[in-house]
């Protein structure tokens, strides 16, 4: 096989610059998600996961920045801006023991709303899993060693019982 010389050729220039460009673009993207901390022996540990809880905060050298958060629903944003807006001059302001009670009630309602959303999502997942299980066919799962294992009828029955319990619990 006769290949053209790479030295001084246009191909070498293009491939070299394209490699440099790809590396220059890829490194900052991955570097943003890296945790760096010192272990017990003083060695630097680099990971995409946070350090174990036994590592004190002083030993964490770098942690990823905050991730982008999905915007809040419009009604929650309107309620938050209304609550944060200062009262108009001359308007009565809640005072006394009623103000903390109103805050507690709003917090309780917000928590109930979040719980209802989580329950609805869990219900949907349990029903989808149950439908997949009842559709028949061969199903595969991963065991404790990370190997793929075909589900036996006993495993399917146990999973079906677990999913039916989840449907009863979350789909009220």
- β-strands 44-47, 35-38 pairing: antiparallel
Residue 68: pLDDT over 50: no
Cα 84 to Cα 72, 77, 92, 110, 160, distances in angstroms: 15, 10, 16, 16, 48
- Identify which of 47, 78, 73 has the alpha carbon closest to the alpha carbon of residue 61: 47
Cα 100 to Cα 103, 105, 162, distances in angstroms: 5, 9, 42
- Identify which of 7, 27, 8, 31 has the alpha carbon closest to the alpha carbon of residue 19: 27
Mean confidence (pLDDT) of the chain: 75
Q: Where are the domains of the chain?
A: 1-31, 34-65, 105-172
Q: How confident is the model at residue 97 (pLDDT cuts 50, 70, 90)?
A: low
| Torsions phi, psi for 141 (to 5 deg) | -130, 175
| Residue 49 region by backbone torsions, left for phi larger than 0, else alpha for psi between -120 and 50, else beta | beta
35-53 burial, b at 16+ Cβ within 10 Å, e below that, comes to: bebbeeeeeeeeeeeebee
Q: How confident is the model at residue 69 (pLDDT cuts 50, 70, 90)?
A: very low
Average pLDDT for residues 146-163, to the nearest whole number? 92
The pLDDT score that the predictor gives to residue 28 is 52
**Euclidean distance between CA atoms 143 and 149, whole angstroms:** 7
Q: How confident is the model at residue 22 (pLDDT cuts 50, 70, 90)?
A: low
Q: How confident is the model at residue 56 (pLDDT cuts 50, 70, 90)?
A: confident
Average pLDDT for residues 31-59, to the nearest whole number? 85
């Amino acid at each position: 096989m006769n290949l053209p010389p790479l030295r001084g050729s246009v191909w070498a220039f293009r491939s070299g610059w394209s490699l440099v460009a790809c590396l220059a673009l890829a490194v900052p993207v991955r570097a943003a998600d890296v945790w760096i901390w010192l272990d017990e022996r003083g060695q630097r540990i680099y990971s995409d996961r946070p350090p174990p809880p036994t590592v004190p905060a002083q030993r964490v050298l770098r942690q990823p920045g905050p991730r982008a958060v999905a915007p809040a629903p419009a009604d929650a944003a309107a309620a938050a801006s209304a609550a944060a807006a200062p009262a108009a001059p001359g308007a009565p302001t809640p005072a006394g023991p009623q103000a903390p009670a109103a805050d507690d009630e709003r917090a309780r309602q917000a928590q109930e709303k979040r719980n209802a959303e989580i329950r609805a999502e869990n219900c949907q997942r349990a029903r989808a899993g149950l439908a997949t299980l009842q559709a028949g066919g061969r199903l595969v799962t991963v065991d404790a060693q990370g190997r793929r294992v075909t589900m036996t009828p006993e495993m399917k029955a146990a999973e079906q019982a677990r999913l039916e319990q989840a449907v009863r619990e979350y789909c009220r």
